[in-house]
């Protein structure tokens, strides 16, 4: 009987632990679904892609670039650009800026490639 009572206490404690983890998970999901958290995640993804594209195009090692330090600067600059617009406007401008940066890197890469081979003409 003693083993059965001990097993019951262990199972109750395990159930309480699972319920506590479930509550913590729900709170984390609610926090991540906030508009500011979604915008931050989108900016981090865009910044990561821009840095990745810049590394690939230029061959520079930007792995030491600390996005946690750079992103607040980008977000501050983006908020200045935003003016009276909303979150959608901010995300659209961020995407446009990322596209322009990627396009500029591609243009410079092609231009550098053409300058390296002066004997070739299009």
pLDDT band at residue 38 under the 50/70/90 scheme: confident
Summarize the confidence of residues 53-80 as an average pLDDT. Answer: 68
For residue 82 the two structure tokens come to 């935003």
Summarize the confidence of residues 58-86 as an average pLDDT. Answer: 64
- 8, 15, 16, 58, 109 from 2: Cα distances, Å: 10, 20, 21, 70, 75
73 and 43 Cβ atoms separated by less than 8 Å: no
Closest CA to 91 of 103, 100, 82: 82
Distance of alpha carbon 91 from alpha carbon 22, whole angstroms? 32
Q: Which residue has the higher pLDDT, 43 or 118?
A: 43
């Amino acid at each position: 009987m003693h083993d059965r009572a001990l097993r019951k206490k262990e199972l109750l404690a395990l159930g309480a632990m699972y319920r506590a983890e479930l509550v913590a998970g729900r709170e984390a999901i609610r926090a991540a679904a906030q508009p500011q958290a979604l915008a931050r995640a989108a900016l981090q993804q865009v910044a990561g892609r821009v840095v990745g594209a810049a590394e690939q195009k230029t061959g520079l090692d930007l792995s030491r670039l600390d996005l946690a330090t750079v992103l607040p600067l980008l977000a501050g600059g983006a908020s200045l650009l935003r003016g009276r617009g909303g979150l959608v406007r901010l995300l659209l401008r961020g995407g446009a800026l990322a596209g322009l940066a990627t396009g500029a890197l591609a243009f410079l890469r092609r231009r550098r490639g053409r300058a390296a081979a002066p004997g070739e003409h299009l």
